[in-house]
Amino acid sequence: MNYHNRWIATLLLAMALAGCAGLRPADTEPLRNHMLDAQLEPASQPHPLPLTLLISAPRAAPGFDTPRMAYVRHPNVLEYFAQNQWADTPARMLWPLLVRAMEQKTGFNAAVPASGLVKGDIRLDTEIIQIQQEFTSSPSRMHITLRAQLVEQTHYRVLAARTFEVFENADKDDPDGGAAAANRAIGKLIGEVLDFSVVNGKRYFEGKKIK
């Protein structure tokens, strides 16, 4: 084989190896899963409220009913981080947090998940309207909107409804900073939902006693 033929053979071999390398999956970083949690203040000792509160499974609006972590760089354009996600959907992670907080701090006779097995006096329904990290300002901030309503179980009558909204600045402009800000924000939201539930539960009970 002369020099020219050897050079062509070497070139063809190099091209073939490069093609095979292109077929191998590229090395990618593993997904990072973030927990949604809330630090609750020590339980107080409220006056007992002789009602059973059912806490239904929270729902989420389209775009936020997914473990994917949403962020916004431009108004009305929702994007998702590629290598970072929630460990579960935010709605499913919120449920046990609400139940724990209601058990510890509200003073209801009982506060239990709504499963259909336990009858209650009133029911708390919640929906996550949005949970997103916004890079439209500096520093970035977590924006969470939550809608809550209390329903009387006997006649399925809405006793009260309210929309809660919290903004929490992130310490870092990345998914880690957003997740930490989300945990601070969700703690504030839960506190507001607790107050909402107690105040309106008390109003309902006092009205029930008068009749």
80 pLDDT exceeds 90? yes
Domains of the chain listed by start with CATH number: 48-210 (3.40.50.10610)
Mean pLDDT of 46-57: 85
- What gap in Å lies between CA 101 and CA 121, rounded to an integer? 18
Q: What does the pLDDT look like over 184-197, one tens digit per residue?
A: 999 999 999 999 99
- What gap in Å lies between CA 92 and CA 170, rounded to an integer? 23
Q: What one-character DSSP code corresponds to residue 116?
A: S
- What gap in Å lies between CA 73 and CA 80, rounded to an integer? 11
The pLDDT, as a whole number, for residue 23 is: 41
> What confidence category does residue 208 fall into, taking pLDDT thresholds of 50, 70 and 90?
low
The pLDDT, as a whole number, for residue 46 is: 59
